Amino acid sequence: MAETKTHPAQHPVEVLGLTDTVSPSKGLRTMWRVFLIGTETPWQMAFALVSTLFAAVLQLIIPQLLGRAVDQSQVVSAGGHAATTQALLVTALLILGVSTLRGLFATFQNYFSEAVGHHTGLRLRLAYYDKIQHLSFGFHDRMHSGDLITLGLLDLEGARMFFATGVVRLLLLVVLIGFGGWWLIAIDPVLGLLALSFVPYVGWRSSTSQLELRQTWLDLQEHLSVLTRVMEENLAGIRVVRAFSAQEHELAKFRAASERALDLAHERVELRVRSTSAMTLSFFAAMGLVLLVGGLKVQAGSMTVGTLTAFLTFMMILQMPVRQLGMLVNSVARTSTCGARIFALMDLEPAVSNSPEAHVLTLTEGTLRLDHVSFAYPSAPDHLVLRDISFTAHRGEVIGIIGEQGSGKTTVAQLIPRFYDVTGGSITLDGQDIREVTLPSVRKAVAVVTQDVFMFTTTMENNIAYGNPWAPEAGIETSSSDAQLHDYIDALPERYRTVVGERGASLSGGQRQRMSIARSLILDPAVLIFDDSTAAIDARTEERIFAAIRAKVASRVTILIAHRLNTLSHADRILVLDGGRIAEQGTHAELLALNGRYRALYDLQHQSFGDRQ
């Protein structure tokens, strides 16, 4: 079994270095960054803002026209003059025209603001996905994939809606409340203040309720993240679940997580209903006061019925935008929080990256050298997994590495292709430090065949040629033959165009490992590392695979990491690791003669084999 490293997944807030709250300055910077992404679609943004402005202004005109129509209708009732009737008809047509234009501009506002939001979401999504592709193994060791999926869906959705729910709504509220309120107070200060009296309470109540809803949303998001994690793990291990008849246990886990999410959803509904009821009550109370005071003014002759109608109509128009004050506050808070999490990930610098002076690796002799290498994983920086490892391998050599689980074998395999950077010492290829050359050139020169194999849901051909999509068909077949997989594929009805099931579910463990070997062989790397990659393959097939590899060993350095000593018996040199150090090294015969750790392992395996016979 290959050496494994456990890195417990942490909460995204811990991994990204965030706190539960976002400072005002950081929130403003986050919103500005989201807004700047929106400016990459300038025409849509301009149309959205201009349409919002026109829609708001036209909406302010409608109450005045309605008030004018009411006054004109009273004149018609009193005098019945044809000229007055004509004026009323003109006003009615104006109301119809203004309402139509207002609806048209509102449609443009919604369409173009959504367009800006979706373009922002696209750019954020691509940048987020690109960053995930480049972040180092150490980051993914600590971050659960379910949390990354949730972050890239829910948080990104919260940030991309900022223009439509924040910027556009702010402009609409400024025009309606600012200019509309000024117009009401200019007509009648007392009645204007009464008409606007519900605004402060509704704005406060809406804002506080939205902040409470935002907190419950964050809690709900955490529970949805747990749901995603439970479902992802269940689907990935569905065969284990079925094999151990653990369906009820898994269903109970999923039900518990779902019920917690449902409780939060009910809490959100209760908050929203209470808030809406209180805001509606305050609005109708203000409207009652306007009717009372305004009615008295109409009776006294100091105000027309049309003016009172205009006040009441404006209040009806203003009711919904004022309630949206809370949505605006929520949009700001949500963008600050969600955007901060998204940008915190996007601003991360990969622990392993190209240096500014990096050059492409140039291979001549194909010599690999580890010089006093020490290493500690980022999750446990004080614990050295490797200590002072030094060895040199020349082209054509086969180096075997063996040791107990946890001795550092897999870590060596992960350091050579620079999945991690060494803590101390250096690794060179033809004298070039792999930290000073480009990552793609290192990964092209070094291929690792691991025990844990991932297969993509695509054809056999595409899975084998994943590292070299332009590989010729003959090269794919040769690699498959060397990996002892060609005969199996050739017998399939669609041969290499057969689609592999999700995660290679349609293949056995040994077939998946052989496909992984073929995937690495097709790259023709300068250094080929087998990290216990034949553990699921029977001994006879394993011997044929290594016989094919040994026939081509002269063109590369080959490193074999294994637990079965028979796999390493033909190696030119074998390194025995113990506690992260090289305890012994030599040929198979030399190590047996030492009567040390290697001899003890050899005797133990052969004794166990004999007992099984």
Q: Which pLDDT belongs to residue 125?
A: 87
Regarding whether 376 and 324 lie in a shared domain, the answer is no
Q: What's the pLDDT tens digit per position in 541-571?
A: 767 777 777 777 777 888 888 777 777 778 8
> What pLDDT does residue 539 have?
67
pLDDT value of position 195: 81
Looking at the structure, do residues 330 and 387 belong to the same domain, yes or no? no
Same domain, 549 and 587: yes
Residue 12 in domain: no
Express each pLDDT in 367-385 by its tens digit: 899 989 899 887 777 888 8
Q: Is residue 295 part of a domain?
A: yes
pTM strictly above 0.75: no
pLDDT top residue among 392 and 405: 392
Residues 320 and 250 in one domain: yes
The pLDDT assigned to 346 comes to 83
CATH number where 33 lies? 1.20.1560.10
363 domain-assigned: no
What is the tens place of the pLDDT at every residue in 63-85?
888 877 777 776 655 555 666 67
* Least confidently predicted of 158-167, 244-253, 274-283, 404-413: 244-253
Residues 194 and 296 in one domain: yes
Per residue in 21-33, pLDDT (tens digit) is 556 677 788 888 8
The yes-or-no verdict on residue 13 having pLDDT over 70 is no
CA distance 405 to 413: 14
427: which strand partners? 370
Bridge partner residues of 576 (DSSP): 402, 584
Q: Is residue 158 part of a domain?
A: yes
* Residue 8 in domain: no
Domain-embedded: residue 233: yes
Candidate from 6-10, 103-107, 218-222, 442-446 with smallest mean pLDDT: 6-10
At 166-216, the pLDDT tens digits run 888 888 888 888 888 888 888 888 888 888 887 788 777 776 776 676 667
Cα–Cα nearest to 504, from 541, 459, 468:
459
In a domain, 118, yes or no: yes
Q: Is residue 10 part of a domain?
A: no
Last residue within a domain, chosen from 346, 381, 402? 346
Task: Fill in the DSSP letter of residue 503.
Answer: G
CA nearest neighbour of 156 among 131, 191, 186: 131
Instruction: Provide the domain limits for residue 385.
Output: 368-612
- Please indicate, yes or no, whether residues 294 and 436 belong to a single structural domain of this protein: no
- Asked if pLDDT for residue 153 goes beyond 90, the answer is no
Residues 318 and 381 placed together within one structural domain of the fold = no
pLDDT, tens digit, for every residue of 254-270? 777 777 777 777 777 77
318 lies in the same domain as 428: no
**Do 438 and 404 lie in a common domain?**
yes
For residue 104, the model assigns a pLDDT of: 93
Q: What mean pLDDT value characterizes the chain?
A: 79
Among residues 520, 522, 539, the alpha carbon closest in space to that of 531 is found at 520
Residue 609 confidence (pLDDT) above 50 = no
Same domain, 158 and 221: yes
pLDDT at 196: 81
Let me know: does 176 contact 102? Beta carbons within 8 Å: no
d(CA 153, CA 82): 63
pLDDT of 1 higher than 50? no
DSSP state of 179: I
436-487 tens-digit pLDDT: 888 888 888 888 887 777 777 778 888 888 877 787 788 888 888 877 777 7
Q: CA-CA distance, 39 to 526, in Å (whole number)?
A: 47
Same domain flag for 331 and 377: no
Kindly write down the DSSP assignment for every residue of 521-559, as one continuous string.
Answer: HTT--SEEEEESTTTTS-HHHHHHHHHHHHTTGGGSEEE
Residue that finishes a domain, picked among 346, 377, 408 = 346
Q: Quick one: which of 268, 42, 15 has its CA closest to 151?
A: 15
Helices (H) and strands (E) in the chain, counts: 25, 10
Query: Do 162 and 30 fall within a single domain?
Result: yes
What is the C-alpha separation between 481 and 188, in angstroms, rounded? 92
Domain end among 314, 346, 378: 346
For residue 384, give the CATH number of its domain: 3.40.50.300
Q: Is 433 helix (H, G, I), strand (E, B) or coil?
A: strand
Give the model's pLDDT for residue 48: 92
Domain count, the chain: 2
- Residue 2's pLDDT is what? 41
pLDDT for position 410:
85
